[in-house]
Structure 1
Amino acid sequence: MLSEFLFLSYIRITAVVCLYWLVSIVTVFVNKTLLSSKEIDLDAPIFIVWYQCVVSVLICTSLKGLSVWFPDRIRLPSSAPFSQKVILNVLPLSILFTSMIGFNTLCLKYVGISFYYIGRSLTTVFNVIFTFFILRETVSCKAIACCAVIVTGFWMGVDQESVAGSLSTAGIFYGLLASMSLALYSIYTRKVLPSIGDHIWLLSYYVNIYSSIIFLPVMYFTGDLETFFNYKSIFQLRFWLLMTIGGLCGFSIGYVTSLQIRETSPLTHNVSGTAKACAQTVIATYWYDESKSWLWWLSNFIVLGGSAGYTSVKNKEMQLKYLSSKTIPL
């Protein structure tokens, strides 16, 4: 019985990890198609990410409605997205969320999928910096050394993109802003979640509602609304189908990420995400028939190694902190 239980647990965990890989990689490729393909040919990245926020809100609203009809199967917390308490707590986080997904989208528009991971690889470095200055938490020398490795791999990758003639300054700029926004979003999420009962679904619902509103004036000033209304394929079913698939992927990636963390651990999630990034890079170079130098590949492995090392260091530090906090009975 024990061996059967362990086997089923292994199968379940493997299925969850595979699902995370599949959804994450498909999401990147679908978004890249929407942003850069000549067939779609819509130069309105902010509109695309806004539509995905709207799809996420509609999914959350639908789930909320189904929970009323099927309370035994779907249990969701009560929500009041426009109450004063929620606005004060969640609106600042929503601004960071809007910046994060907006800059992520712009980064993906200007760089290839094979370089996408490198372009956003400084998230760990910014996370360490902001943790020190905002949370006032000390950072170990080992963690700083891992960050130095990541920065080295990042600059090597940028240099190799420049040598190959495929470097996008705008893509690097937006990648840095995306990394900063993601680091800040992760830190402030830890502060905001307790105010809404640690409900991840509720947080996703709120930030997507607010982001859908915040993006409206942004789309006006960037000209994305005008571009969209003059779009030649605005009434084509295939375009809206692909846009909706992108929205479903955007919602799904949040769910499968939480699912993988719950079924495994934060450490395993980080290791899985690092390995997924490696697989995603390999798939992208094959899919788009890209030829890369060995120094370019070395830069990727340096970043992956630094990220994996940082994850291992932080895991050991957390274990030591936990053990030291336990009282030893006399």
Structure 2
Amino acid sequence: MPHLNPQTLQVAAVVAFYMAAALIMVFVNKAVLNSSPDLPLLFLLIQLLIAVVLLHASSMVYKTIRIPKFDAEVAKKLVPVVSVNIIGLVFNTLCLRDVEASFFQIARGLVLPLTIAVSSVHTRSIPSRLVLTAAFIVTVGFMLGVAPSSSLPITATPSNLSLFYGVLSSLFIAFHAVLIKSSLPHCNNSTIELAWWTNVGSAIMILPFVILLGEPWKLYGLSNTPEWNWSMFLWGSLVTGLFGFLLCVAGLLSIKVTSPITHMFSSAARSVLQTALGVSIFGDILTTNRAGSISVILGGTMFYTWIKSVEAAAPKPPSPPIRSGPDVEMGNQSSSQASPLWQMDEKK
């Protein structure tokens, strides 16, 4: 039996951990939202609160994990990234509630093109032709998946509203990917501190809407209904809260020990498994259009990841000599900022 390199085993373990956490998160979320479709924001609030509790518990066990003290000035500076995060989470939850689990990957298929567009506007830079080609391929895959199909029954056809939720979720994920870079300095460049601020801030922002929509009272009413499966909501909330936290850890580990290409291939494999499990567990219908759509989206995404890895490995051009005189440039005002897809994967 060939000897396995410990580093290879570590990478395999992290990839498996990431895939398992992401799949459990999606399917338990879907099961709870199917059983309690009128409580999406309350369900999301519970997940956020559990993540905060687990962050504090982790800091007690591991001294290297530091929870920041509340600072009003820092909180003000993080309002944009927290606002974008919670809006994206809400639309993500509503989209998952209203579409089949196997179709969820397609409904949010515009994440990459929108991230490229938002990043380009933010940095005032023009993407390369290859990057634009990758974005075009992914967009074609999305259009293929959402095209009307006569082979689908009415009950399995996604509504325009659910597709709208998916597009908005993708758009706010794109904004979030761009804002993370400018927000990290306010958190001592610590992703753990940013995660804490994001979860606490998101919970505070969503709480008034949970109350205004009367979801706590809806929960009380459902609890008095004999046919309502309260254990599904309770255990589903605990499991998704736990795995939402683990997914954050898994994402950080994946970035640390794997390459972008490895991470992207693991995401692709997870998407295929997610589609197959959606068909198996929930009886989702997989048409030729949908299978083709997922393949094209994954192909375009992996092509983009390959492009960025090649660009990152390319030798940097030598710096031009510094000139003196009145015509010297004071600095480049539009730097190129790639938004790596592996830093913005399913949080949510």
Q: TM-score, normalised by structure 2?
A: 0.84
1:42/1:231 contact within 8 Å kept = no
Work out whether residues 51 and 245 of structure 2, in 8 Å CA contact, stay in contact via their aligned partners in 1: yes
Q: Matched residues in 1 for 2:289 and 2:229: separation?
A: 46
Please, which runs of 5 or more residues in structure 2 have no aligned partner? 320-348
Which piece of structure 1 moves more, 168-177 or 218-227? 218-227
- Note the 1:153-302 alignment, pairs <5 A: 153-160=141-148, 164=152, 165=154, 166-232=157-223, 236=230, 239-302=233-296
Partners of 1:32 and 1:109 within 8 A in 2: yes
Q: Deviations over 1:139-159 (max 9, x none)?
A: 011111111111111111111
Match of 1:11 among 9, 12, 19: 9
Structure 1 stretches of 4+ moved >3 Å: 160-163, 233-239
Task: Check 1:326–1:265 CA distance in 2 against 1; reply closer, same or farther (3 A cut).
Answer: farther
Residues 278 and 296 of structure 1, relative CA distance in 2, 3 Å threshold: same
**CA RMSD across the alignment:** 2.2
Describe the shift of the 1:150–1:238 C-alpha distance in structure 2 as closer, same or farther (beyond 3 A). closer
Q: Which moved more, 1:192-201 or 1:216-225?
A: 216-225
* CA distances 1:253-308 after superposition (whole Å, capped 9, x unpaired): 11101111111123322232122112211221122233423232111111111111
Which deviations, in whole Å up to 9, do the C-alpha atoms of 1:90-148 show, x marking residues without a partner?
Answer: 12111011011111111100001100001011010111111111122320111111111
CA contact (8 A) 1:57 1:205 kept: yes
Please list, as runs of the form range in 1=range in 2, the aligned pairs for 1:34-53 lying within 5 A after superposition: 34-37=32-35, 41-53=36-48
Is the 2:30–2:101 Cα contact (8 Å) retained in structure 1?
yes
Q: 1:75 and 2:69 equivalent?
A: no
Q: Aligned equivalents of 1:282 and 1:210: distance in 2?
A: 36
CA–CA separation in structure 1 for the residues paired with 2:34 and 2:277 = 18
Contact 2:39 2:218 in 1 (8 A): yes
Q: Residues 146, 287 of structure 1: CA spacing in aligned structure 2 closer, same or farther, 3 A cutoff? A: same
Q: Distance between the aligned counterparts of 1:109 and 1:196, measured in 2?
A: 33
Distance 2:295 2:229 in 1: 44
| Structure with the largest fraction of helix | 1
Give the equivalent residue in structure 2 for 1:29: 27
Mark the CA change 1:85 to 1:268 in structure 2 (over 3 Å): closer, same or farther.
farther
Distance 1:179 1:153 in 2: 15
Contact 1:80–1:86 at 8 Å: present in 2 too?
no
Residue 242 of structure 1 aligns to which amino acid in structure 2? G
Unmatched segments (≥5 aa) in structure 1: 68-72
- Once the two structures are overlaid, the 10-residue window that deviates more, 13-22 or 193-202, is 193-202
Whichever residue aligns with residue 29 of structure 1, its letter is F
Q: Distance in 2 between matches of 1:134 and 1:162?
A: 41
Matched residues, number: 313
Length-normalised TM-score, structure 1: 0.88
Determine the structure 2 residue equivalent to 1:99. 87
| In 1: Cα distance, 2:158 partner to 2:133 partner | 27
Q: Between the two proteins, what is the percent identity of the paired residues? A: 25
Give the secondary-structure state (helix, strand or coil) at the position aligned to 1:134. Answer: helix
